[in-house]
Amino acid sequence: MATMEQCMTALEGILGDLAAKPAAQGLDRSLSCRLTDLGQLVRGRLARGSVRDLRAEPDGQSPEKADIRFTMTSDDLVALTDGRLSFGPAWASGRVKLEAGLRDMLRLRTLL
């Protein structure tokens, strides 16, 4: 199991790369990543080409849903960032879950 510090570093890297892509320009969406094995929810905002305000909180603390929601284990998050796991196969197998509105899903398809 990865530590929360490793997960925050991984999220900053993967979301920063995502935000820097030209297709992400103009997006202003709330993000969350539920880390099932750590019982934590990381929230942030994708806006103006960067990810802002990443913060962790105990899972289930807030009923507010983010516009774009990821769910995975801490080890899968770290594996995504270091290249041991590809997003497409992880999503197709259910190891990584992504929930978003249709418009966001279409835009994310080009980013991921």
Q: What percent of the chain has pLDDT over 70?
A: 96
DSSP string, 30-74: EEEEEETTTTEEEEEEEETTEEEEEEEEETTS--PPPSEEEEE-H
What does the domain layout of the chain look like in residue ranges? Answer: 4-111
Residue 96 three-state SS: coil
Q: In what order do the strands lie in the sheet with 50-58?
A: 50-58, 40-47, 28-35, 68-72, 97-100
Query: What would the pLDDT profile of 13-41 be if each residue is shown by its tens digit?
Result: 888 887 888 777 778 899 999 999 999 99
Give the global pTM.
Answer: 0.87
pLDDT at 110 over 70: no
Query: What would the pLDDT profile of 71-95 be if each residue is shown by its tens digit?
Result: 999 999 999 988 899 888 998 999 9
Which residue type sits at 55? R
Which residue type sits at 24? A
Decide yes or no: CATH 3.30.1050.10 for domain 4-111. Answer: yes
